[in-house]
């Protein structure tokens, strides 16, 4: 064979190899683009949800205190907390503990605060946010006084939450009393 007959065959092979390489690179770039678009879409959804959650939190922070004229019985407090858990689709078995605190007078006023300490285990963050919103939105006298989160896995948390309610009591002789005792 002469070099002139090998040359077109060699050129065809090189062109075919180049075409396959370009096709492979286009496929890799297209796949990477699809993955990037999916990641951007997921990020946009998460950002939108975060913005909604932040607006809800800001609204809760600016909500004024509402005090009732009487202390709420412990059973009523727990019923309202459990109703908020149900509304937020949090199973009741995630409630590890619930401890009522003694009433505390605020700044030598007639306003008393009673806090219920809750420990929830392994709850998705979106459900925790829904619970915090529901418990305060559905119960105007309730306020989130403390919250501590510890991650258990991606987007799931153990949460220690203080939920306070307020009532007015004119007598000024509130001593430290055990939970559940009448002030």
Contacts of 86 (CB under 8 A, 6+ apart): 92
Give CA–CA dist 166/65, Å, rounded. Answer: 8
Residues of the chain under the 50 pLDDT cut: 172-179, 181, 183
Count of other CB atoms within 10 angstroms of residue 114: 20
Please state the pTM of the whole predicted model: 0.58
Strands 111-124 and 142-153: unpaired
Query: Which pLDDT belongs to residue 70?
Result: 64
Give CA–CA dist 151/124, Å, rounded. Answer: 10
Query: Which pLDDT belongs to residue 53?
Result: 76
Query: Which pLDDT belongs to residue 177?
Result: 46
Give CA–CA dist 173/171, Å, rounded. Answer: 6
Summarize pLDDT for 58-110 with one digit per residue, the tens.
665 555 556 666 678 889 999 999 999 999 999 999 999 999 999 888 887 77
Contact between 149 and 159 under an 8 Å Cβ cutoff? The reply is yes
Give CA–CA dist 57/59, Å, rounded. Answer: 5
Domain 66-168: CATH superfamily, name plus number: Ribosomal protein S6/Translation elongation factor EF1B (3.30.70.60)
Query: Which pLDDT belongs to residue 145?
Result: 92
> Percent of the chain scored above 90 by pLDDT?
37
Query: Which pLDDT belongs to residue 134?
Result: 94
Query: Which pLDDT belongs to residue 80?
Result: 94
Report the greatest alpha carbon distance in the chain: 115
The torsion angle over the Cα atoms of residues 43, 48, 53 and 58, rounded to 10 degrees, is 120
Contacts of 92 (CB under 8 A, 6+ apart): 82, 85, 86
**Can you give the residue ranges of every domain in the chain?**
1-62, 66-168
């Amino acid at each position: 064979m002469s070099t002139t007959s090998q040359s077109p065959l060699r050129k065809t092979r090189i062109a075919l190899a180049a075409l396959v390489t370009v096709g492979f690179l286009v496929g890799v770039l297209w796949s990477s683009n699809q993955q990037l678009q999916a990641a951007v879409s997921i990020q946009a959804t998460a950002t939108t949800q975060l913005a909604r959650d932040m607006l809800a939190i800001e609204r809760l922070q600016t909500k004024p205190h509402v005090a009732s004229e009487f202390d709420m019985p412990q059973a009523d407090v727990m019923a309202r907390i459990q109703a908020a858990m149900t509304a937020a689709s949090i199973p009741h078995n995630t409630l590890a503990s619930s401890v009522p605190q003694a009433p505390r007078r605020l700044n030598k006023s007639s306003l008393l605060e009673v806090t219920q300490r809750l420990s929830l285990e392994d709850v998705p963050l979106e459900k925790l946010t829904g619970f915090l919103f529901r418990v305060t939105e559905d119960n105007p006298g309730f306020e989130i006084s403390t919250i501590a989160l510890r991650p258990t896995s991606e987007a799931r948390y153990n949460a220690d939450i203080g939920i306070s309610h307020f009532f007015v009591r004119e007598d000024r002789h509130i001593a430290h009393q055990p939970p559940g005792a009448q002030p």
